[in-house]
Amino acid sequence: MLPFYAERFNTTEVNYTFHRIPAPKTIANWCQLTPETFRFILKAPQKVTHFARLRDCGDTVDYFYDIVSGLGSRLGPILFQLPPNLKKDPILLEHFTESLPASMRAAFEFRHESWL
């Protein structure tokens, strides 16, 4: 299915990574099945966004990023989809973003209305 998709589109958002951190061999397989110009936008693990709620999760973020960096140039931004009940907290967000790996491109989906 991925090769079929990659022939028609140049980007995909992967929800799988929200539920499970992929194995390195899965990342290698995704690379084999897509052209170098293809981009993956990976959803950050729920362990980071929904369970830890962006607190004390640096080890998980680092482990996840180490694995998915195997995508090389195919790796697009990591999507941090925040839970709908996580209210606006600029200090929390600042501390979290400062702890991200320097080379990580991050995107955030703020779902609580207080972020508007």
pLDDT of residue 54: 99
Q: Which domain holds residue 9?
A: 2-115
Question: How do residues 39-94 score in pLDDT, each as one tens digit?
Answer: 999 999 999 999 999 999 999 999 999 999 999 999 999 999 999 999 999 999 99
User: Tokens 């299915």, residue?
Assistant: 1
> What is the tally of structural domains in the chain?
1
Q: Are 21 and 65 in contact (CB under 8 A)?
A: no
pLDDT of residue 66: 98
Question: Which among 38, 49, 51 has a CA at the least distance from the CA of 12?
Answer: 38
Predicted structure pTM score: 0.96
Distances (CA, A) of 42 to 38, 51, 88, 90, 114: 13, 18, 23, 23, 25
Which element (helix H / strand E) includes 109?
strand 106-109
pLDDT of residue 105: 98
Question: How do residues 7-54 score in pLDDT, each as one tens digit?
Answer: 999 999 999 999 999 999 999 999 999 999 999 999 999 999 999 999
Q: How far apart are the first and last CA of the chain?
A: 37
pLDDT of residue 52: 99
Cα distance between residue 94 and residue 55, in whole Å: 11
pLDDT of residue 33: 98
pLDDT of residue 2: 95
Q: Are 75 and 69 in contact (CB under 8 A)?
A: yes
Q: Which CATH number do you get for residue 74?
A: 3.20.20.410
